[in-house]
A and B are shown apart, each in its own frame.
Chain A
Amino acid sequence: MTVQAFAQETPERYTSIRIIPETNKVQSGQTIMMAVELTMADHCHVYWANPGDSGLPVDVRWSGVEGIDIKDIKWPIPDKIPMDFLANYGYHDRVTLLQPITFNDVNPDEKITLKASLSILVCKEICIPESEEIEVVLNDPSAPAHDNSEIIAQAEKHLPQDASEWNYSFQEKDGYLLMRFTLEEGLLGELANKDLEFFPLDWGIINHAANPQIFVEDDAIWVVHPRGDQSLDDKEKLPGLLAIKGQYNTEKAYETVLYKNNDMASNFVISTEGSAESGQNMAHHGRGIKPSAPSQTDQITFFSAVIFALLGGLVLNLMPCVFPVLSMKALSLVKISEKEASLARKHGLAYTAGILASFLVIAGALLMFKSAGLLVGWGFQLQNPLIVGALAYLLFLIGLNLMGYFDVSNRFGGIGQSLSQKAGVTGTFFTGVLAAIVATPCTAPFMAAAIGFALVQPAFVSLTVFMALGLGLALPYVFLCFVPAACKLLPRPGAWMDGFKQFLAFPMFASAIWLVWVLSAQKGSAGVLYILTGMLFIVFCIWIKKVPMRPILCPFRNLIFWFMVFMPFVCLLYVDKAPMESADMQTKYEFGEKWSKVALDEALLSDEPVFVEMTASWCITCKINHAVAINIETTKNLFSTKKIRYFIGDWTNYDGEITTYLESFGRNGVPIYVYYPAPDPQSGERSEPVLLPQILTPSLLQEALGSK
């Protein structure tokens, strides 16, 4: 074989090769190790047995001697070499491959010449194939015996540890490869806080460029990795390395085989990493960060979550978007409560049913999307500009209605009297639906913690919490319906009701303004333009229906109406099409660095303490916390004197990386505040990150950052 000159313009070589036999004197039946040492030019690499997304493994072929058995190459531990959105496994600088050769029949006094043909693909940014033939002379009577076992022993230190006896298993699920490494206690403790990765020996098993998620169970470590291109259906076992990533290269690796076990992760929900283990013992895979049980603020029990949700639902009634709907509905009760107590109860039940049905639909959809592997979190509704826009329209419409600009009919809004009509009960059901829908913009910002908890739980827990929330929302009205005495406490109807009704339009308009502002953070000024134009069309549609006109013009009026009525929806489509505001353009922060996983990981390698804030434009709690506790002089001074690196992540728009980060703390919504104390000066290890409460006060923050 000759050196093929393909694309390279210089015939210069990028690898130099030496082959060192364990000894130069062999006897029949003896197995010796051949050390194939490759030295590469600066920044060049050659490939492991599985080269990763591109490249070729080093290939060595032996010839020249009859009666030899050549075993597989023993590959030293490779490094993962990321290349943009691809990744390779290989070696830099120098590597020694070991290959055992058994000589079945040799004469110790007769010279033999083994020929090794190597073909190597050596790559920096670009790749050059190189090949070389090397002769290894053994049993040369004129040469003195030479023992190289020291070199072999040195090279063996770089081989992965044999762990073929371990009980490891894998399962493919929803585009992920789930790997479970059951370990004895000592080793589990050793590996639990390490940055682990699986290097498969075969191609196409995993998406090499992606980073795995790791979490620790009682007796096992799970490594969850996005899948590769090869089908796993026929694979019963996967050989590979369990690798521990060091700062620059692979620190250590265990050579192992995983066996298929399709039952091991039956109740494992992919997108909520770790939910199968009830949110406990999740490891964040930054360096030196121990797997941490989320701090006590997160350890909400099922029971207290239900109570919180119920109370939360109750409080929702006071939110600016829900209060007007409830008030009008309640006032309508006054007139009939005495005569038709049983009918009132029916209405109470219909209203509850409407709310619960809506919450069930939303929660069900959310759970469905999550089980389909989508990285969604609570507040996801407001990450979608279409929904934000539609809600803004709806609140605006209700505001106009309350203001008295148009009437929706008794049946629907239930603002009025005809409870005695049968149809009224259906109407009340839809009022419940309406209440649930107008409550969404408020649930997202205020209820994030409880719902975030619910969403990382098994489905029935999530649904129960959602139902409790709905029940809480329905409770005040139901109470009025079922306790006629309570109705007596309501003010008597009268002329004041009109003024009150009009007044209630203001919280609605205010909520609409807020939603338009949220939209401006997502879709910029273009989005605001389209949504306001949509509102213009809405008012026009109402006007054209109301304006006095000669009867002859009426068909014309209807034509215009039916044309115009679609315009708000068209505007909504334009909103959706408007370019997404880039992350940099989103709400400007006065100080702090933009969060990214890479930036955080890098900061965690330094000696400085790190503070992470996750926020979103639509998250009221986040905004208040930021203004009250973070963006103040004392906190800023604290950051600068203590040299705290401060990162802000913005979740206003969809961001899978942030979602994953939130989930690593058992959360599913913003805000989240995490403090990583400086590493211990002796050990260089960081202690567990501290999760701060979701309601921040300056003193609370200072205390958390001040204590070591």
Chain B
Amino acid sequence: MYRKIAIYTIALLAMAAALPIYGHKAQANVEVGKAAPDFSATDIHGEAFSLSDHKGKTVVLEWSNHQCPFVVKHYSSGNMQSVQKKATDQGVVWVTIVSSAPGKQGHVTPEEAMKIEKEVGANATTRILDESGEIGKMYGAKTTPHMFVIDGEGTLAYAGAIDSDSSPNPAAIEGATNYVLAALDDLSAGRDVQNPATWPYGCGVKY
């Protein structure tokens, strides 16, 4: 009996010696076509949100900062709200994430966030305040609005801009290609996303 235990112990130790090495990939960012990292957070309404709870559904992550001119461009024109509406009507889970650190532009309390949500008439499923920047850095979110589309299998299908025109002028929205809607269309039609990675124009996330 002891003999067996001893052998198992050695085997386990040998495995332990070989496997869990504390190393880090030089780059933490997610990659299109690979699994999107899971995260859990409490939304502004105090409810728990976990990406892994939404397996089987398409999830859109929208990085936001209500004071950034590029975010204002898409909200003051009503564009972001209508894209959110179109997406959530198809059963897409839309998560707006604010990674502004305390004291930085765009940082809000849950109460303020609820007020903003109401004022602009946002149609997102939920809104998460990520003031530590943990989720933002996990996804390598660089700008507001930086958009990520995750398919039902949890694979990152799109990362980049909301649309093809980087001008801060709301007039530019008309005539621009909305990459997020295009990606959602491609996914629901079972096609490969045509433009899976685009330049995420916008303001820097205020980590």
B9 cross-chain contacts in A, Cβ below 8 A:
394, 397
Contact status A358-B142, CB under 8 Å: no
Q: Does A88 contact B (CB under 8 A)?
A: yes
B199 cross-chain contacts in A, Cβ below 8 A:
203-204, 230
- Distance to closest chain B CB from A239 (angstroms): 15
Alpha-carbon distance A375/B73, docked complex (angstroms) = 42
A125 touches which one: B32, B104, B170 (CB < 8 A)? B104
- Distance to closest chain A CB from B18 (angstroms): 4
- Distance to closest chain A CB from B2 (angstroms): 6
Closest to A561 in B: B1
Contact status B168-A430, CB under 8 Å: no
Among B17, B200, B204, B207, which residue has the most Cβ atoms of chain A within 10 A?
A: B204
A440 cross-chain contacts in B, Cβ below 8 A:
17
Q: Does A361 contact B (CB under 8 A)?
A: yes
Contact status A53-B143, CB under 8 Å: yes
**Stretch of A105-113, A382-390, A449-457 at the chain-chain interface:** A382-390
Q: Does A103 contact B (CB under 8 A)?
A: no
B204 cross-chain contacts in A, Cβ below 8 A:
53-55, 83, 86, 88, 123, 127
* A interface: dominant SS: mixed
Q: Does B48 contact A (CB under 8 A)?
A: no
Contact status A129-B168, CB under 8 Å: yes
Docked complex: B3-36 residues within 8 A CB-CB of A: 3, 5-7, 9-10, 12-14, 16-27, 29, 31-32
Among B22, B197, B206, which residue has the most Cβ atoms of chain A within 10 A?
A: B22
A690 cross-chain contacts in B, Cβ below 8 A:
none
Contact status B20-A412, CB under 8 Å: no
* 0 or 1 for each of B176-207: is its CB under 8 Å from A? (1 = yes): 00000000000000000000010111111111
A384 cross-chain contacts in B, Cβ below 8 A:
20-22
Alpha-carbon distance A361/B200, docked complex (angstroms) = 44
Q: Does A474 contact B (CB under 8 A)?
A: no
Closest to A56 in B: B166
Q: Does B60 contact A (CB under 8 A)?
A: no
Q: Does A365 contact B (CB under 8 A)?
A: yes
Chain B interface size band reads 35 or more
Q: Does B52 contact A (CB under 8 A)?
A: no
B2 touches which one: A4, A123, A231, A407 (CB < 8 A)? A407
B1 cross-chain contacts in A, Cβ below 8 A:
545
Q: Does A406 contact B (CB under 8 A)?
A: yes
Alpha-carbon distance A522/B182, docked complex (angstroms) = 49
Q: Does B159 contact A (CB under 8 A)?
A: yes
B105 cross-chain contacts in A, Cβ below 8 A:
125-126
B207 cross-chain contacts in A, Cβ below 8 A:
84-86
Contact status A430-B104, CB under 8 Å: no
Alpha-carbon distance A230/B200, docked complex (angstroms) = 11
- Distance to closest chain A CB from B118 (angstroms): 19
Alpha-carbon distance A309/B125, docked complex (angstroms) = 62
* 0 or 1 for each of B160-175: is its CB under 8 Å from A? (1 = yes): 1000001111100000
Alpha-carbon distance A226/B12, docked complex (angstroms) = 35
A406 cross-chain contacts in B, Cβ below 8 A:
2
Q: Does B68 contact A (CB under 8 A)?
A: yes
Alpha-carbon distance A229/B31, docked complex (angstroms) = 7
B197 cross-chain contacts in A, Cβ below 8 A:
204, 229-231
A437 touches which one: B5, B14, B76 (CB < 8 A)? B14
Docked complex: A57-102 residues within 8 A CB-CB of B: 59, 83-86, 88
Q: Does A409 contact B (CB under 8 A)?
A: yes
- Known contacts A127-B203, A654-B23; A229 and B140 CB within 8 A of each other: yes
Alpha-carbon distance A131/B10, docked complex (angstroms) = 71
Contact status B104-A6, CB under 8 Å: no
A203 cross-chain contacts in B, Cβ below 8 A:
199
B7 cross-chain contacts in A, Cβ below 8 A:
412, 430
Contact status B21-A376, CB under 8 Å: yes
* 0 or 1 for each of B53-79: is its CB under 8 Å from A? (1 = yes): 000000000000001110011001000
Closest to A87 in B: B204
**Beyond known contacts A6-B73, A175-B25, A373-B25: 13 more, CB 8 A cutoff:** A7-B67, A86-B205, A131-B169, A203-B199, A230-B199, A375-B23, A375-B26, A384-B20, A387-B16, A390-B16, A407-B2, A545-B1, A654-B24
> 24 interchain pairs (CB within 8 A)?
A1-B169, A4-B170, A7-B67, A7-B72, A53-B143, A56-B168, A85-B133, A121-B69, A121-B168, A176-B26, A229-B140, A270-B26, A374-B23, A374-B25, A376-B21, A376-B23, A386-B20, A390-B13, A390-B17, A433-B14, A434-B10, A437-B14, A437-B17, A545-B1
